[in-house]
Structure 1
């Protein structure tokens, strides 16, 4: 995608990367696991990867680092997802248009309908973190093959 991006779209690509976890990320991953019950899949992810930034896929897809997720919780508190089994969650990612991805304490991933969490409405997008990652993978593949936005 990056190799032919400028030729296809007429401008250079952004910083598309999947950053590997460093020592600070590993510490934050352990703290994340303490804060978020039932987050085994996300913990495994955060032990391997620091963050994902794909600004050129559709509007963009971003999976925030465990440090960023925890910082947001300390600054703003937990997200409230009214229809979830346990309505507490953490913002774990976003798209380039301001839509937020929130993991509830049961591991389900939800997408906000607006760019704000104040009285936000959510749609369930994945039953667990591996399914969420698969949706991102499929979105990238679809974008590369067709130039159309993905599945999230």
Structure 2
């Protein structure tokens, strides 16, 4: 995964999206940004799947609240403190072992990967009891085969919107 190249492509797309957002939509953007790591990642990354370790050594956080319904990749300290935040750590419907919630959408969905690092799932809104996720009708959806595919999805979605409306 070439995260430096991804950051290099996303930066100008986000800047253009932000700078012309109000003109296109009629209200101010809410702070869309892709933030690289400046002084090394915060937290002990050893417990995370390899793809997340690689991601968090280059990228601190992604906030795209105005892209479609919103897309967010949370800082690593949020991922590492799942128990305290009450986010799912297990989803027996999709995998026997641990999952890592690393992001969310603007509609209550959570993006998660199992310990193996693939695939990336979207967990729809549902109860979380003792860090165990339960779907409520809508089963978890596989959104990409891995983190790299998920990042490509974010980039291509943003590029499509910028190319179409800007």
Structure-1-length-normalised TM-score: 0.81
1:16 matched to 2:35? The reply is: no
Secondary structure (helix, strand or coil) at the match of 1:57 reads: coil
Corresponding residue for 1:143? 161
How many Å apart are 1:97 and its aligned residue? 1.3
Q: Answer yes or no: is the 8 Å Cα contact 1:80–1:87 preserved in 2.
A: yes
Assess, with a 3 A threshold, how the Cα gap between structure 1 residues 64 and 115 changes in structure 2: closer, same or farther: farther
How many Å apart are 1:143 and its aligned residue? 2.2
Q: Aligned Cα RMSD in Å?
A: 2.1
How many Å apart are 1:45 and its aligned residue? 1.3
1:59 matched to 2:90? The reply is: no
Secondary structure (helix, strand or coil) at the match of 1:13 reads: coil
Structure 1 stretches lacking a partner, 5+ long: 148-152
Q: In structure 1, what is the Cα distance between the partners aligned to 2:69 and 2:37? A: 25
Structure 2 stretches lacking a partner, 5+ long: 1-16
Number of positions where the alignment pairs a residue of Structure 1 with one of Structure 2: 141
How many Å apart are 1:73 and its aligned residue? 3.3
Q: Answer yes or no: is the 8 Å Cα contact 1:90–1:103 preserved in 2.
A: yes
Question: Any idea what the Cα deviations from partners look like across 1:13-38, whole Å, max 9, x if unmatched?
Answer: 11111112144x6242xx23x223xx
Q: In structure 2, what is the Cα distance between the partners aligned to 1:96 and 1:18? A: 16
Q: Answer yes or no: is the 8 Å Cα contact 2:87–2:101 preserved in 1.
A: no
How many Å apart are 1:82 and its aligned residue? 2.8
Q: In structure 2, what is the Cα distance between the partners aligned to 1:87 and 1:2? A: 39
Note the 1:7-86 alignment, pairs <5 A. Answer: 7-23=23-39, 26-28=41-43, 31-32=44-45, 34-36=46-48, 39-76=49-86, 78-86=88-96
